[in-house]
A = this chain, B = another copy of it.
């Protein structure tokens, strides 16, 4: 499948790398490709700059948001939460019309330090904001409840765990579910319409505290039933 991954940070790299490995035709999207490639410093989390990753993944083309999305069949939003709507606006509402948009972003607000708070919650969600802003796109919220490495390689935990999908379009959720299964996810739970993204986005606060308590982000929620 032709897939555009918007965002060139740790999450975008993990998704793009895994999708290429699975045989997809992948373009990463960024605001300014020259600026992205020019960065030589690690990001705020200590991850190597995109250029270093790109030399190891020559099959992945880097493009502007608009260029990346133009020919894509599926769009992955792997930007930070605050950057999500601007990135998708740069991609263009017309280009997104009819396409499945897998939204992985979380509405984290780091302006008051760590742990971050949520800039939308409880009575609305970032997933819903994106769906409202791009009513022709078929938005599916998923994968925002676990660390990048486990999003794309969940079997590395050694035990099955769960992921969730939220969205208004059943076919789009089926497409995303198949993609998740190709990553190794065996328990994909359909929570319902896009408003159920409120629930998974509000998982972040306990996720962050668990990371602190366990000393690692390599864990995931499993719904035992």
Contacts and interface: CB of A to CB of B under 8 A. Distances in A.
Max chain B C-beta neighbours (<10 A), residue from A117, A123, A198: A198
Contacts of A209: 191-192, 196, 199
A206 to B, nearest CB: 3
A132 B122 CA distance: 24
Contact of A216 (B121, B224, B225): B225
Interface majority SS (helix, strand, loop, mixed), chain A: mixed
Q: How large is the interface on A (under 10, 10 to 19, 20 to 34, 35 or more residues)?
A: 35 or more
A211 to B, nearest CB: 10
Interface in A203-225: 203, 205-210, 212-214, 216, 218-225
Given A157-B225, A218-B225, A223-B219, A202 B206 contact: yes
A117 B189 CA distance: 22
Contact of A214 (B123, B157, B199, B225): B225
A89 interface: no
A218 B224 CA distance: 9
Contacts of A41: none
B191 A200 contact: no
